[in-house]
Amino acid sequence: MVNIALIHEAPIPTWSCRQLILSFKNLGARVSYLRIQKISIEISRNNGIRIHYGLKEVETPDAQVVRSLGFALSIEQFFRRIQALKIISDLGVFTINPIESMIIARDKFYSLFKLKENNIPIPSTIVTEDVLLAMEKVKEWKEAVLKPLMGSLGYGSIKTNEADIAYNIGKAFLSINQPLYIQEYIRKPQRDIRVFVVGDKVLGSVYRISYTSWKTNVAQGAKVVKAPKIPEVEEYALKAAKALNLYYAGVDIAETPENGYVVFEVNAAPLWRGFQKATGINPAYEIAKFVIEHIRR
């Protein structure tokens, strides 16, 4: 029986994790839900590499499905968790998504660089620790979004057309040792497109629509409806996932009147409740099937 480790930091499995557990079990696999903070690696002088979960030693899984590395971590915690998962991966365990790729996707700026490197259209973006440069960029772009370098669900993102507001926000960020991530504001028709990719296949796309806010995150109240099949959008989504070496991803794309389609972000551990409700497609089953097929090759 295929042995799957499903890894997250939450004490109780999230909705998406529960869907994965059900899908793996329906496909005949054994699944263990592991909290990442309780996974420890021992490099033993006499017994090789040992994996501990709490006080218990556990067997090496056939695959690890990493859904969360955790939030608000110290640099030491972050590297310890990365090291543990990377060592498990180096033992020959199929890891989805690859740890290096998850780190790149989590870093919004470097992931944009990789997209640009692969000729994928992106918004103009800068990361800096200079508030005066931040002010100049707001003036140049007329309207800009300041957001956390590592964040999710749209939380902490602020749109402004005032250089002085950028200055005050920048000073606040720098006071807690956070760099300034500044992106030109892309005007879009009150919606963006979330494309769900698994392997080399697009499962489907949804519009995320907001009539009351410039943010189109579902966590911020956006409505989700099924989007039509748009070949150009699907091509960009597949290219973006491939550029970051992700086995599955949620790719956020905007339609713009001036610049065509623009890729905002690639999420290496996307949520999909809204997507599933709108499309009737269950990404958890597709991910589970992809993992098991990969192991059995």
Query: Do 152 and 226 fall within a single domain?
Result: no
Asked, for residue 269, whether it belongs to a domain, the answer is yes
Hey, what long-range contacts does 49-56 have (CB within 8 A, 24 or more apart)?
49/87, 49/91, 51/88
Instruction: Report the CATH number at residue 173.
Output: 3.30.1490.20
Number of structural domains in the chain: 3
Q: Bridge-partner residues for 206, per DSSP?
A: 194, 226
Assigned token pair, 201: 């296949």
Establish if 115 belongs to a structural domain: no
Phi, psi for residue 266 in degrees, rounded to 5:
-125, 120
Residue 145 inside a domain? The answer is: yes
What CATH number does residue 255 fall under?
3.30.470.20
CA–CA distance, 38 with 33 (Å, rounded to integer)? 11
Provide the token pair at 50: 């040992």
Assess if residue 111 is contained within a domain. no
Query: What number of CA atoms fall less than 13 Å from residue 176's CA on the CB side?
Result: 7
What's the CATH code of the domain at 53?
Answer: 3.40.50.20
Nearest-5° angle of CA 199, CA 68, CA 98? Answer: 40
If asked whether residues 166 and 252 sit together in one domain, one would say no
**121, 259 contact by CB (below 8 A):** yes
Question: CA 235: distance to chain centroid?
Answer: 19
The helix/strand/coil state of 193 is: strand
Strands 223-226 and 180-184: unpaired
The verdict on 249 and 217 lying in the same domain is yes
Domain C-terminal end among 134, 162, 184? 184
- In this structure, are 19 and 36 located in the same domain? yes
List the pLDDT tens digit at each of the 297 positions of the chain: 899 999 999 999 999 999 999 999 999 999 999 999 999 999 998 889 999 999 999 999 999 999 998 877 888 999 999 999 999 999 999 999 999 999 999 998 999 999 999 999 999 999 999 999 999 999 999 999 998 776 655 567 889 999 999 999 989 989 988 899 999 998 888 899 999 999 999 999 999 998 877 777 776 678 899 999 999 999 999 999 999 999 999 999 999 887 799 999 999 999 999 999 999 999 999 999 999 999 998
Q: What Cα–Cα distance (Å) separates residue 95 from each residue in 99, 162, 212?
A: 7, 44, 39
> Is 117 part of any domain?
no
Q: Give the contacts of 277 (CB within 8 A, at least 6 positions apart).
A: 224
Identify the pLDDT of residue 152: 58
* CA distances to 7, 81, 199 from 78, in Å: 15, 5, 27
Q: pTM above the 0.85 mark?
A: yes
Specify if 107 maps to a domain.
no
Please tell me what DSSP assigns to residue 119: T
Q: Is 112 contained in some domain? A: no
Domain containing residue 37: 3-96
pLDDT for residue 257: 80
**DSSP character at residue 152:** -
pLDDT of residue 151: 60
Give domain status of residue 118, yes or no.
no
Residues 263 and 168 in one domain: no
Determine the Cα–Cα distance for residues 19 and 287; give it in Å rounded to an integer: 10
Phi, psi of 227 (to 5 degrees): -100, 155
